[in-house]
A and B are shown apart, each in its own frame.
Chain A
Amino acid sequence: MGVEEKYRYFKRLLIFFLAVMVIRLWHLQVIRGDELRRLSEQNRIRIQKVYAPRGMIFDRKGRILADTRPSFNLYIIREDMRDFDETVNGLAKILNIEREEIVEKLSLSRDMPPSFPVKIKSDLTMDEVAKVEAHKVYVPGVVIQVEPKRYYPYGETFAHMIGYVSEISNEELKTHKGYSPGDYIGKYGLERIYEDYLRGKDGERRVEVDATGREIRVLEVNEPVPGNNLYLNVDLDVQLAIDKVLEKRRGGAVVLDVKGGGVIALVSRPGFDPNRLVSGIKKEEWAQLMTDKNYPLQNRVIQGRYPPGSTFKLAVALGALEFGVIDEKTSFFCSGGLYFGNRFFRCWRERGHGVVSIHKGIVESCDVFFYNVGLKLGIDRIHEIAQTLGLTDLTGIDLPNEKRGFVPSSEWKLRTFGQKWYEGETISVSIGQGAVWLTPIGMASLASIIANEGTMYKPQLVNRIVSPDGKLIKTFVPEVKRKVNISKRSLEILKKAMWGVVNEPNGTAFASKTQIAEMCGKTGTAQTTSSSKGSKGDHAWFVAFAPFSDPKIAMSVIVEYGGHGATSAAPIAKIITEEYFKDLKSVKEARAFDR
């Protein structure tokens, strides 16, 4: 090979490589030019979400029940990490958390673009913020943002009413449009029902960033729009008063506005601290809440179904009067019990009540009187009156997962057990035992119907929705579910009897008589499982309204295993009434509010 030839070879090599380069350049810059240009634009422009503050929740007097406060949240932007392990291990060390926790959070958002900030921890303490900021260079990709966060100043008190928000779950992401991982969503209570109103419109910031995610400049800001505010019918004072007496017990109470159905208070205990759920609790903690024997996650007022005990006598009495089975004067003799078939049904008072008519039957809660009335009425008419009074229906309160009450019928027994109904069973049902299961909200609704003489309102927590700039978005006018077709005469008899329960010396709740307003009610002591099985005692009920003339509020109180309704539940109703009517001013305010 001559020297000349070698030069030629070398030149050919040069031409070959030049050709490769030019072709590749053409491929990248011309054929893929548009695509790569777009990628380079995306590289430098990043769209950051600016979370909108959630709407606030106020009580009827404008006091804050659910607020937003600033919180420091920590994110990882995967694109900005230099090295996966460097950032993840470094962060785990700084925050003193498990590495797997971070990895899991990152993997949840793996379908999002690499520039998507993945929330690793929310609500950092000032200490943690300082630590992360100090070590920021060692954990590239980590950013801390200040964002609005839900705060419930009264904690457990409103847990079952207002509920709580927390980060959207994977399942929810699939069913809810317009949410991304890390967003908050109402999970329970009003937060869930009014999610669409409370949730604001998140804003956006378009910023130019460098390769480490550092902001170079802000190109455009789309301000977030805060959510709408809710004004409730609820009175904070009444709620707090109830919560104070129920705090260490299991039970619930609900107070309704007789003239419109507004919910003045709704407490269910035990509860949980909604603020802890907002920050996101550990799996074990959640499991503990779920399996707690005291069912802190159950709203007893709308989900708890209890045998109503003697409070059911109100419904039976109304049925008997309406169906003409008895009248005001019809009386039975109570000797302390009733033989039926080969069984002896006892009255709660062993020595008996003597001659009992309907007034005395309710005031002294004579069982024998109602055994007789029940037998005359028959199960199907009891079922019918319960239906008429809405006891087997949902009340339609603006809370999620309300449960329906249950009152049996012969048709039901035949259908489910294929057996005929025995009259002996009617005897139990007529004093609210057996297969009768009612919710406190249903019983409060019954008291309200009696008090306002026949109007069934839908219980309503939210009074109105107001936009952040003060515009009225929606007002919830009282919604009449239906007019209950019961004669005024029967209702008057019942009202008088309920007055007697509290205000007559022989009334079962005479001890809870109050000077502030004439409270009227009915006690109930519901037997739980048979006493032989070591039951923890009876459920104490009290269903009431006040005042006697021109009633304003109706309520029901249940204390699980509280014993006698007269001794456990009625005093709570007394506290409620006294709190509500503590000065007439509050009555006037309530009126002004309702307008």
Chain B
Amino acid sequence: MIDKRRLHHLDLYLIANVLAIFCIGMFNLFSATSSFGSKTFLAKQIFAFLLGSIFVLILLYFDYRTFVSNSFYFYVFGLFLILLVFILGVVISGAKRWISLWGFSFQPSEFMKPVLVILLADLIKENIKTNSPLGLKDVLKPVLFTLFPSVIIAKQPDLGTACVLLLLCLSLLFFAGMKKGTLVALLSGGFLLAILAWKYGLEPYQKMRIMGLVNPDLDVTGFNYHAKQAMIAVGSGKLFGKGYLSGTQHRLNFIPEHHTDFIFTVIAEEWGFFGSIFLFALYASLILRLLKISKETQDEAGSIIAFGCASVIFWQFVINVLMTLRLCPVVGIPLPLLSYGGSSLISTLLLVGLALNVDMRRYMF
């Protein structure tokens, strides 16, 4: 099914962009984990990258439309995995998000991201084809299909991934176009959901994180202390940074999770303002490239998939950096390609792989 002609259409620019971010990520991870005195982080990350690349190659072999038409089975399998977490889950730092298999632990919620992209593409592609704005009835299915895994994932608790899924759904609905009334209904529904979550769903520590954003002096020894330390790390980088391997804030463990969710502090501390801007540029370029694929693809499902990939990476990038900069509450969202974590890396690679797949086959009509 795969021939040379299609390989010619492989978007090398996109691949280079991803590799650039990943390489920076590896150097950065080396610095971030150097104080741990263990090289397994790097090894595991490289292993995950190789595994993800193999998955991508396999994924490229099949036409993405095969995935779209079978998206429901993927979805059911994904749901099965996240439910399995509740039974077989491993608890790491207070959350049950991981399944341990043959010595590797992986996070099923991460794989819900690409799965939901193809499912939603399947659900709304017809509307785009007919160019008819979504009514309340059309919206119901995508929203419910998104809400269901989101709530489960939020209960693990993994609020970050749940948020990303909801934002993905919202972005794609926006992309498909909605009637005004639907939009209003959706927004008010979201608002209601937020209130309900605050009242019944959120743990006290989660509320504390949100409150801490408003009042930075609250609970200075606990969680917000670390958020404050992250801010100090970023600021202390100044214009040019402290230099590679010289970030004292993370090397002395003032920032928890500085190799995962707070990875950006390491960049900002060691490379300063200009280094951070350079990284932003790479992410912007990656997102714009994905949008370009979406735009140039004639097939509606492909277009939606590429747009979905762009929005998943976009929201993760934006929320992660904003929370590091103390502009939004801290939720566990990794920075794609930079944060340590195999599942997140593979999930991102799969998203990129989907976009590549779409791009490869964009002239196949």
Contact = CB atoms under 8 A, between A and B. Distances in A.
Are A and B genuine complex partners?
yes
Which 6 residue pairs are nearest across A and B when measured between Cβ atoms? A36-B235, A40-B236, A33-B238, A28-B235, A210-B252, A37-B236
A212 B325 contact: no
B321 A43 contact: no
B291 A11 contact: yes
Interface of B: 128, 171, 174-175, 177, 220-222, 229, 231-239, 248-249, 252-255, 268-269, 272-273, 276-277, 280, 284, 287-288, 291, 294-295, 303, 307, 310-311, 314, 318, 321-322, 325, 327
A37 B287 CA distance: 32
A22 B237 CA distance: 14
A39 B248 contact: no
A29 B239 contact: yes
Contacts of B235: 28-29, 32-33, 35-37, 39-40
Interface in A29-73: 29-30, 32-37, 39-41, 43-44
B185 to A, nearest CB: 18
A221 to B, nearest CB: 20
A18 interface: yes
Given A29-B239, A36-B235, A20 B322 contact: yes
Contact of B280 (A7, A22, A209): A22
B253 A212 contact: yes
B221 A78 contact: yes
Contacts of A211: 229, 252-255
Given A7-B295, A28-B231, 11 more contacts: A3-B128, A7-B291, A14-B288, A17-B318, A21-B280, A28-B235, A28-B325, A29-B273, A30-B273, A82-B221, A211-B252
A344 interface: no
A43 B231 contact: no
Interface residues of A, number: 43
The prevalent SS among residues of A at the interface is helix
A25 interface: yes
Most A C-beta atoms less than 10 A away, residue of B220, B239, B248, B314: B248
A40 B177 contact: no
A43 B291 CA distance: 43
Contacts of A484: none
A6 interface: yes
A290 interface: no
Given A33-B239, A36-B235, A22 B291 contact: no
A46 to B, nearest CB: 11
Nearest to A35: B235
30 contacts: A3-B295, A6-B174, A6-B175, A7-B295, A9-B174, A10-B291, A10-B311, A10-B314, A18-B284, A21-B280, A21-B318, A22-B277, A22-B280, A24-B325, A25-B268, A25-B273, A29-B234, A29-B237, A29-B238, A29-B273, A30-B238, A33-B238, A35-B235, A37-B235, A41-B236, A41-B248, A43-B249, A43-B254, A82-B221, A82-B222
B273 A43 contact: no
Contacts of A9: 174
Interface string A175-188: 00000000000000
B179 to A, nearest CB: 11
A538 interface: no
A216 interface: yes
Contacts of A114: 220
B96 to A, nearest CB: 21
A110 to B, nearest CB: 12
A32 B221 CA distance: 22
A28 B221 contact: no
A266 interface: no
A200 B307 CA distance: 72
Nearest to B171: A10
A83 interface: yes
B200 to A, nearest CB: 25
A138 to B, nearest CB: 16
Interface string A76-93: 001101111000000000
Nearest to A16: B318
A25 B234 contact: yes
Contacts of B174: 6, 9
A287 interface: no
Nearest to A209: B252
B313 to A, nearest CB: 11
A269 B171 CA distance: 88
A3 to B, nearest CB: 8
A83 B232 contact: no
B272 A29 contact: yes
A11 B235 CA distance: 28
Contact of A14 (B231, B255, B314, B322): B314
A580 B263 CA distance: 79
B237 A18 contact: no
A37 B269 CA distance: 10
A36 B322 contact: no
A40 B232 contact: yes
A213 to B, nearest CB: 10
A299 B278 CA distance: 77
Contact of A21 (B272, B307, B310, B325): B325
Contacts of B254: 43-44, 210-211
Given A7-B291, A17-B318, A208-B252, A37 B238 contact: yes
Contacts of A44: 248, 252, 254
A26 interface: yes
B234 A84 contact: no
Contacts of B311: 10
A1 interface: yes
A37 B221 CA distance: 20
A80 B169 CA distance: 42
A7 B248 CA distance: 41
Contacts of A29: 234-235, 237-239, 268, 272-273, 276
Given A11-B291, A83-B221, A40 B249 contact: yes
B236 A36 contact: yes
B132 to A, nearest CB: 12
Contacts of A32: 235
Nearest to A36: B235
Contacts of A33: 235-239
B221 A84 contact: yes
Contacts of A40: 232-233, 235-236, 248-249, 269
A25 B291 contact: no
Contacts of A24: 325, 327
A43 B177 contact: no
